[in-house]
Amino acid sequence: MQYKEWLGEWLSSSVRPVVKERTAEAYEYAVRRQIVPTLGDYALDELSPLVLQRFAAGLCARYAPNTVRGVVGVLRASLLRAEQTGVVARQFGATIRLPHGREKEVACFTVTEQKQIEAYALRHRNRKFAGFVLCLYTGLRVGELLALTWQDVDFAAGALRVNKSCRDRWGGGYRKRIDTPKTAHSHRVIPLPAALLPLLTALRSHSKSAYVVSDANGHDVSVRSYQRSFESMLRKLRIQHRGVHALRHTFATRALECGMDARTLAEVLGHKNPAVTLSRYAHSLQEHKSAMMDRLGELL
C-alpha cells in the first residue's frame, strides 16, 4: 500500500471521528501540504529510518521548529497506527531526530504603548475596539474574546466564564465559527478587575448583539477582521507591529510585574503548568528585574 493511500484511510477512520474539527483540519493540512508531496508515493514498507530522517531534515531547512515538530508528530502518529492495525509489520517514526527547539520569545507592549492602545480603543467610536482593553486586563485569546457572549459575563460576581472559542471559516469571506476552547484547562473563570465593570456595563447598554464584541451594527466580527483592525490601530499610533496575541502576552507580563504568583496567572491564562507560564514570560521582565536589583542595591 502506498503511504498516501494509508494517510487517507487513517484520516477518515482514526482521526476525524475522535479529534476536534480544527485538529483534524490541521492534520489534513500537514498531510496535504508537507507529507504527501514528498513521501506519498512511497510504499509503507519503504519508509526506512534514512528516508524519514531525510524528510525531517528537508522540513528543518524550510520551516520553523514548531512547524517541523507538528508535521513530524502527524507522520509518527500515522505510522504508529499503521503498525497497531497490522497494515505494516514495523515502522520507524520514533527514529526521527529533531533539533531541540527553543522557547520563542514573546512580544509584548511597553507600559507607554499599552496606555496609547487603551486611550485609542476607549475613545474610538466603534465599540469593538474596547475588546482590546478587555484582552489587556484578562489575558483572553482573541478567539475566546470574539466568542464571549453577555451570558458569560457575571456582573454580580465580577467574573467572566471562558467556555468556548472561535476561528475563521472561509466561504467567500471570513466567517466566525464557534468551537470549544483550545484545551481542557482553557475552560476557566476569570475574575474581572473592578475598573473593567463600568466599561462592560456601558458596552452592554449599547450592544445590539449577543456577543460582547460586535461591530457598530451588531454583526459578528471575524478573527481576521479583528486582526486587521488591530494592525490598523498600531499603524495610526506608530507602534511597532505585533499580532493581537501580544495583548495576552502584555497582560501576563504586567501581572508578573505586579506580583501575581505563577500558579494564579497560569489559571487565569488557562495554562496547565505554572512552570510553562514562568518559562514563557520570565525573559520579558528584564526591566522589572533591573528595578528590583536596584532596590536591593540600596541596602549597600
Cβ contacts of 92-97, under 8 Å, gap ≥ 24: 92/47, 92/48, 92/49, 92/52, 93/52, 95/49, 95/52, 95/53, 96/49, 96/52, 96/53, 96/56, 96/72, 97/53, 97/56
All three cell numbers of 111 = 507600559
Give the global pTM. 0.75
**Residue percentage of the chain with pLDDT more than 90:** 68
| Residue scoring higher pLDDT (299 or 61) | 61
What is the C-alpha to C-alpha distance for residues 276 and 54, in angstroms, rounded to an integer?
32
**Listed residue (125, 275, 294) closest to 215, CA to CA:** 125
Tell me, what's the pLDDT at 217?
87
**Residue percentage of the chain with pLDDT more than 70:** 94
Rounded to an integer, the average pLDDT of 268-292 is: 78
Tell me, what's the pLDDT at 25?
87
* Cα-trace Rg, the chain: 23
Give the Å distances, CA to CA, from 203 to 57, 147, 215, 235, 269. Answer: 52, 16, 12, 25, 23
Write the single-letter amino acid at 281.
Y
Tell me, what's the pLDDT at 12?
96
Helix (H) or strand (E) holding 153: strand 153-154
- Strands of the sheet containing 159-162, edge to edge, are 153-154, 159-162, 188-191
**20 has a pLDDT exceeding 70:** yes
The mean predicted confidence, pLDDT, of the chain is 90
CB atoms closer than 10 angstroms to residue 18: 9
What is the C-alpha to C-alpha distance for residues 57 and 45, in angstroms, rounded to an integer?
20
Pair 192, 158: CB distance under 8 Å: yes
Tell me, what's the pLDDT at 283?
66
What is the C-alpha to C-alpha distance for residues 190 and 188, in angstroms, rounded to an integer?
6
Rounded to an integer, the average pLDDT of 199-216 is: 93
**172 has a pLDDT exceeding 60:** no
pLDDT band of 294, cuts 50, 70, 90: confident
